Every structure is written in structure tokens, then in C-alpha cells.
Structure 1
């Protein structure tokens, strides 16, 4: 198994509620539209499929979706929505686990590739995507840009959410590119719950090199699922790489 955190039953049970804003149509529909266009008539494979936030509505568009997921409790939550026959999922890490078949699309969304916490393992994620792609197929990732430009000298934390229900901030190690997301959530009874998850951030140019090592070719980079241009001020990116049809394409 890779160095990813392993989410337990309690975390999996709360996941959809804690992530409610990412299930809203304005957040979810553009992602599903984008991925459905790239998948076309072929099948898709989601790394870190989780509870099926993206996979279930993508399947409702007629795309045959399979998944790889490290956490069995997350898969158990997915099974409340869709059966194994309709959406097969292999339990394992996204760097080494394989499933049968070739896919027109492999994707990993909402920063999940950062859950794999070493550079070598992240390279293997790209290679695993390439391994599953049919010639001409695409690998897509959605990933945020670390907010380290907002940190003055000597500071190690950056807030990403401050509301009356949730305060979240990231702490960074600038040498190793390791980080931790800290969450403080106010519960209905007035108490507060703390949770944390660990990650390794990846720069866009680093992603391109990982893709090149996996034999994939850069195709496009956007700031978001809506198709906004990616600039030096963008806080996230949606990037697409293509598996060459044959050697002459390289």
C-alpha cells in the first residue's frame, strides 16, 4: 500500500455531509460535463472513487465507470448508491492497483492525487493511468495550487475556509512538499470536531514531467471545469494528457 491516509468508517460515513458544497450542481455538473465529453462512447476509470460523488452522475450520463479506492468504508458508502455490477470497484491504492480492460478516460478529481504522499508514488499514479488507457485515451486530474504565496516569512499555515460552521487551514513543509489539512467543524450541538488529512502537493510543471515519464503527452490545462484560462493567478487546474495512438505520435 502507498503512503496515503486510510479513511475509516466514521470518516466515510460523514464524507458526503462534510463535502456537501462539492455535490452542489454548480460545482459538480461542469466536472461531469467535461469528463463525459472526454470519455465519449468509451469506459472511464476513476482513481480514488470514494463515495461516487463524480462517478455516479457520470454513469447516469451513460458512461461505463469503474473505480479504484483505497478505503473499503468509502466503497461501502458508494454501495448505498450503486451496485458492484453497475460500477465495479477494486479496493487498493491508485499507484499500483489494476483493473481489467482499457479505458478512454482515467481521472482523479478534487486534489485526490495529493493523498499519495511521495513523489515516487505519484509518478507511479501517472504510470498506472497510462497502463489503463487505450491508445488515444486521456488522463485528467483536478488539483489545487498550494497557497504558499500568501504566507509571509516564518509562517507555515494558510487558511482555505473560514465560516461559522467550518474553519480549515493547511500547514506546509516547503522542503518535502508535505502538508496537512486541518478542519474544525461546529456541530449541531455546539461542540467542535477536529479532523486532519495529509498530502503532498504537486506543481503543474511537476505533473507534466510525471506524465512525460509515463509516456503521456500534454494536451491542455484549464483553471477549472468551466474552461477558464489557466494563469499565474489560478488557484487550481484541470489538466489533460493523452496516450499516443502509436509511437509515431510521440
Structure 2
């Protein structure tokens, strides 16, 4: 079993934030925060795998009380440089088992992080853990990529996902185990003809939307909405990612007592 703490170590935490760029770009964050704030509906939110606070901090700034769960102490330490525990409480622990309380109206897990759980059992446990901490009628939002197995050429087990100056991303697939390993190669093209590079690898378990829906059902959720992005674009067979909103049953109305005449 992969030790996820080794993947999200001090070096990963130090390099995680890219202010104003990539997943920290305003065009990425602003619709994410706006959608989550609307789904919170004035109640408190729980972020699983809160990381360095990329989403939680602006969501808190939008008036939504946020609590987090995070496995990696270095990621929590980076978050603590931005916000103390009174402003943004965080429980250190695994998102499949750790509890931050009950009564949240919203739980969310963004940026493909469910795939960091490498077995189906762990992924189902994550749904169940979210359900335990939500109030009746609460929702669980997951952002996840759609597996791109159609892009695999016959006889090949990998794809080049990103190729740009100084960075190359290659994904290799094990279709039987439903596993993909992302190989990140970073180099300085201006130095030594880029003969040296730093390589990091991150394993994932990819999940088809239909399988995700079944996991949700096992935890008591039903699918409410699915979009291709945070702006609500329609999800189609060609979408490369999705934002799925699952909801627990609403509280039952109290039964009316029969009045004797």
C-alpha cells in the first residue's frame, strides 16, 4: 500500500501553491467558490483533503464557515501560514475515517483528489465518511476527471498529457487494476540542453462516473447534478472532467398526530 504521507511531504507542500496560475488562477477558483457557496446554502462546509487551503480560504472569505480534514502535516503547516485554527480548523487524519463533527450542509472533495485513494474500498469509505458528517439533506460535491482510455493507441499503455517548455506529463495505465501513474518530468530547457530532469510519480485509481454513482448510493446519496465544469457546462460523452453533486435524503416531515374527537 502506498504511503500517501510520503507523496505529500514537505517538498510537495512547498511547491504546491502557484498563486494566480494553474489551479490557483482566478478563472479556476472563482466559479469553484461561487458554486460551493451556493450549495452550502448558508450552512457550514467540510473540505476533505483541504491541502494548503486553495479553495477553503476564498470560500471562508465568501462567508462560508469551513472545516478541513487533511492527512499531510506539511500541507497543514503551509495552510497555517495563511490562517490559524480559529479561522480555519483542520483535523489531521485520513479522509476515509477522520471526523470533524456533524451537521455540515456541504462536504466537498475537489481537483481529482478522490483518485488518490487507490482501492475501491477506500473510495467507498470516503463517501460513507462524508455522509456521517453531513446533516440530513446535505450534499457531497466531487470534482473528478473522466478516464481517457480512448486516447490510448493499440498496444500502448501510456499517453502524453502535457508537453510544454520545462514540463512533461506522461500517464501510464493498468486497465485491469484501474490504476494510472502520472509521471511528472521537470527540467530547465536552458541548462545543459535539458539533459537532466527531476521526476516525480503520483499513483491514482481512476473512476468512471457510473461507478462513482454506485459508490454514492452505497453511502445513502443520490445524484442531483453533474456538470462538465464549475460553470455548469453540460456534461457530455466528450467531457474530460465532471463536477458531481450528491445529496442525502432530506429530513422527514413529522407525522401529524391523529386527534380524537
TM-score range, shorter chain: over 0.9
Q: Equivalent residue for 1:150?
A: 151
| TM-score normalised over the length of structure 2 | 0.90
Q: Equivalent residue for 1:131?
A: 132
Q: Equivalent residue for 1:174?
A: 175
Q: Equivalent residue for 2:197?
A: 192
Q: Equivalent residue for 1:214?
A: 219
**Any stretches of 5+ residues in structure 2 without a counterpart?**
254-261
CA deviations 1:9-61 (Å, max 9, x no partner) are 11111111399411010111111111011012100000110011111100000
**SS of residue in 2 equivalent to 1:49:** coil
Q: Is the 8 A contact 1:142 1:237 kept in 2?
A: yes
The Cα of 1:187 is off from its aligned counterpart by 4.3
Q: Is the 8 A contact 2:20 2:26 kept in 1?
A: no
1:14 equivalenced with 2:15 (yes/no)? yes
Q: Distance in 2 between matches of 1:3 and 1:175?
A: 18
Q: Is the 8 A contact 1:4 1:116 kept in 2?
A: no
Q: Equivalent residue for 1:5?
A: 4
Task: Indicate which of 212, 215, 234 corresponds to 2:239.
Answer: 234
**SS of residue in 2 equivalent to 1:180:** strand
**SS of residue in 1 equivalent to 2:161:** strand
CA deviations 1:127-182 (Å, max 9, x no partner) are 01111111111100000011110001211112221111211121111011111111
1:162 equivalenced with 2:167 (yes/no)? no
> How many residue pairs align between the two structures?
247
Q: Equivalent residue for 1:106?
A: 107
Q: Distance in 2 between matches of 1:211 and 1:142?
A: 14
Q: Is the 8 A contact 1:49 1:69 kept in 2?
A: yes
Q: Equivalent residue for 2:56?
A: 55
Q: Is the 8 A contact 2:137 2:250 kept in 1?
A: yes
- Asked which structure has the greater CA Rg, the reply is 2
Q: Relative to 1, partners in 2 of residues 1:89 and 1:186: Cα closer, same or farther, differing over 3 Å?
A: same
Q: Is the 8 A contact 1:221 1:240 kept in 2?
A: yes
What is the root-mean-square deviation of aligned Cα atoms in Å? 1.8
Q: Is the 8 A contact 2:165 2:189 kept in 1?
A: no
Q: Is the 8 A contact 1:5 1:198 kept in 2?
A: no
Q: Distance in 2 between matches of 1:39 and 1:48?
A: 18
Q: Distance in 1 between matches of 2:13 and 2:77?
A: 9
| TM-score normalised over the length of structure 1 | 0.94
